[in-house]
Amino acid sequence: MITEVVYLLGTRLGTQAELRFLADLASGAFDVEAVHPTDWLRIADLANQYRNLPLGTVDASVIACAERLGVDEVATVDRRHFTVVKANRTLTLLP
C-alpha cells in the first residue's frame, strides 16, 4: 500500500509531497503493518464478493488489516470502494 500512497502523492501533489512522505516513512513517523498470512483469505473473499466494483487487492488488504487490528478509521482518497464494502466493523473514512 505504501507504493500506492507514493504514486498518488507524486501524481496528485507532486514530487515534493512524495519526497516528504518518504522522509517521514524513513523517520518512523508511521506505523507500517504488514499483511499477515491469515489476511490473504479475507482479501480473496472480499475481492470475490465485490468483484463487480471491482475491489482490488490493495483496498481489500486495507479492509482486512483494519478488521484484524480493530482499527475503525481508514485514511483514503478513494472513497468509492470503502463506502460500498461491508467490513466486519464500521469504518470511518478520513479525511
Which pLDDT does position 76 carry in this prediction? 84
Domain that holds residue 1: 1-32
Asked whether 1 and 60 are in contact (CB, 8 A), the reply is no
Asked whether 6 and 14 are in contact (CB, 8 A), the reply is no
Do 67 and 27 lie in a common domain?
no
Q: What is the pTM of this model?
A: 0.82
Percent of the chain with pLDDT over 70: 100
Strands (E), the chain: 73-75, 92-94
Q: Which three cell numbers stand for residue 34?
A: 504488514
Which pLDDT does position 75 carry in this prediction? 86
Which pLDDT does position 13 carry in this prediction? 95
Name the stretches of the chain with pLDDT < 70: none
Q: Which of 45, 73, 75 is nearest to 60 (CA)?
A: 45
Do 45 and 26 lie in a common domain?
no
Do 4 and 49 lie in a common domain?
no
Asked whether 74 and 66 are in contact (CB, 8 A), the reply is yes
Do 23 and 59 lie in a common domain?
no
Total domains, the chain = 2
Which pLDDT does position 78 carry in this prediction? 79
Do 56 and 83 lie in a common domain?
yes
DSSP state of 70: T
Do 28 and 42 lie in a common domain?
no
Do 45 and 70 lie in a common domain?
yes
